[in-house]
Amino acid sequence: MNKEKETEENEAEDIIIVTEPIKIEDGKHEGKIVNVVRNLPNTEEGRIYDYIDIGVDVLDVKKEPTLRIGFPTNISELSVLGRLLKKAGLDFTEGQKITTSDIKDNLIDREITFLTKNEKTESGEFARILRDTIEFK
């Protein structure tokens, strides 16, 4: 590859387009789970908890924004993540080992409905998915 083409590709990677904020109204929405990521504790990055983050494309909002929702990585009949996985059809029993791949296989590309609520933070106002309102289509 010549130096000029390599420079152009590197410059293109550095470009970020500024967009207007996307407003998601409080209420019921339709979406699709697009990714599942496990975030292990990492003190260097400031994470002290083990979480599963789920990315959801909001399908009924212009520009289809992606919202992220976190679940503590604790799977039991009563935990928030356990209840979600049961709704998704993943059967499990106490002592069973479930991998992140198992969770991905049961969640990614699934269409869902959910409720959102806007919350104000120091950084602005953001739509949050209410965990217990997720239902699979």
Residue with tokens 């970020």: 16
Q: Does 31 map to a domain?
A: yes
Whether 104 is covered by a domain: the verdict is yes
In this structure, is residue 43 part of a structural domain? yes
40 assigned to some structural domain = yes
Q: Tell me phi and psi for residue 33, to 5 degrees.
A: -75, 125
Residue 100: which CATH number? 2.40.50
Distances (CA, A) of 9 to 3, 6, 15, 16: 10, 5, 10, 14
116 lies in some domain: yes
Is the pTM above the cut of 0.85? no
Tens of pLDDT, residue by residue over 5-58, are 555 666 667 888 888 888 899 999 999 999 999 999 888 888 889 999 999 999
Evaluate whether residue 94 is within a structural domain: yes
Query: What are the structure tokens assigned to 35, written together?
Result: 């990714």
Q: How many domains does the chain have?
A: 1
Instruction: Provide the domain limits for residue 119.
Output: 26-136
Q: Rounded distance, CA 128 to CA 67, Å? A: 7
